[in-house]
Structure 1
Amino acid sequence: MKQSTLELKRNRRKVVAGQTGRDYFDFIVDGKSLIEILEPSDLIGCLGWGCPEIEKHTIAQLLAKELPEPESGRVPIYICPECGDLGCGAVTARICEESESYIWSDFAFENNYEGTVELYSEIGPFAFDKAAYSKVLKKRETEIVA
């Protein structure tokens, strides 16, 4: 499988009247914004805007060190920009740690009351070099102010 690159890039939610503006980190895969590829409704990246404890937990899930919360076994990567609750819906991906890679696959839109609502079968899988991927997420983890 071809190796992909992962970067985190600051982004700002495009808002309309009554919505909360949010700065967050977008996932850039092979130089392209993953949110733009997925084209979900109004969602933002799971990093860069929540409380430090939740963000550290999210990073642990992205590193496959903690179990994902949805029963599907997928990790939320784009979430509700108002509250971050899975009940509002999220884009999720299965994240597997292998000997030399992290693999993102089985992208879906899901929530915690209907389960998987829509599969993104045309997206991924993406294989990231383990060392480079870990470096990106660990760098973000050190930036989190407790």
Structure 2
Amino acid sequence: MKNHFEIKEVKKDKERIYFDFFIDKKALSERLSINRFDLSYCDFDLDTFEVDKFKFPNYDRSKVNKNAVFQFLGNHKPLNQFKTNRIVLYRCHCGCDYCGVISFNLEKQDDLIVWKDITYEDDDFEYEEEMGNIGIKPIKELMFDRRAYELAFENYLKKYCA
């Protein structure tokens, strides 16, 4: 069964727009039983914000956003600090994957995009043992219509990364 996929703003203030994926009209963070705004999972690569160009002259947030989109589309190799080829969904506020992330494996098929093993990941790979300690509900698999999925990311790029 195919799942319905959307990218939506979940919070907006004058400096930042927070996003989440909505699967069958429910936020992915809710499905995983995580708080999207808890410091442990508040870094989401599609969030947009203005950066102080004086302090960080070479930082371009739109490049981060675009690279994330290309990973979600399966066009770029996933980048995470564990080198596991898993795509990071949520990470802690400091941006370090070693604090623990929520990640998944992406599989592209002719007319489907499949997310597999959506779960917690850290550098010791003791997922099952840690799941009970941190309260995350792993998701075995989500399947999306490939064209609708790609269109959601195209629309995100046009609106937020132009």
Q: TM bucket by the smaller chain? A: 0.7 to 0.9
Q: Quick one: distance in 2 between partners of 1:7 and 1:104?
A: 14
TM-score (normalizing by structure 2): 0.72
Alignment counterpart, residue 32 of structure 2, candidates 38, 49, 57? 38
Q: Against the structure 1 CA distance between its residues 49 and 85, is the aligned structure 2 distance closer, same or farther, given a 3 Å change threshold?
A: farther
Q: Quick one: distance in 2 between partners of 1:22 and 1:38?
A: 23
Alpha-carbon displacement from aligned partner over 1:45-93 (angstroms, at most 9, x marks no partner) = 331236100110000000000111132211001222x333323321101
2:125 is paired with a residue whose SS is: strand
Alignment counterpart, residue 102 of structure 1, candidates 86, 108, 113? 113
Alpha-carbon displacement from aligned partner over 1:13-39 (angstroms, at most 9, x marks no partner) = 9xxxxxxx9631111001111101112
Q: For this pair of structures, how many residues does the alignment match?
A: 135
Aligned-residue CA RMSD (Å): 2.4
| Pair 1:55 & 2:65 matched | yes
More strand by share: 1
Using the aligned pairs only, state the percent identity: 25
Contact kept? 2:119, 2:138, Cα under 8 Å:
no
| Pair 1:116 & 2:115 matched | no
TM-score (normalizing by structure 1): 0.80
Q: Quick one: distance in 2 between partners of 1:90 and 1:23?
A: 21
What runs of 5+ residues in structure 1 fail to find an aligned partner? 14-20
Q: Quick one: distance in 1 between partners of 2:126 and 2:10?
A: 26
Residue of structure 1 equivalent to 2:131: none
Residue of structure 2 equivalent to 1:78: 90
Deviation at 1:12, TM superposition (A): 3.1
Deviation at 1:143, TM superposition (A): 2.1
Q: Against the structure 1 CA distance between its residues 23 and 84, is the aligned structure 2 distance closer, same or farther, given a 3 Å change threshold?
A: farther
What runs of 5+ residues in structure 2 fail to find an aligned partner? 50-60, 129-135
Contact kept? 2:33, 2:137, Cα under 8 Å:
no
Q: Against the structure 1 CA distance between its residues 96 and 37, is the aligned structure 2 distance closer, same or farther, given a 3 Å change threshold?
A: same
Rg larger in structure: 2
One-letter code aligned to 1:116 = F
Answer with 48-57 or 123-132: which moved more: 48-57
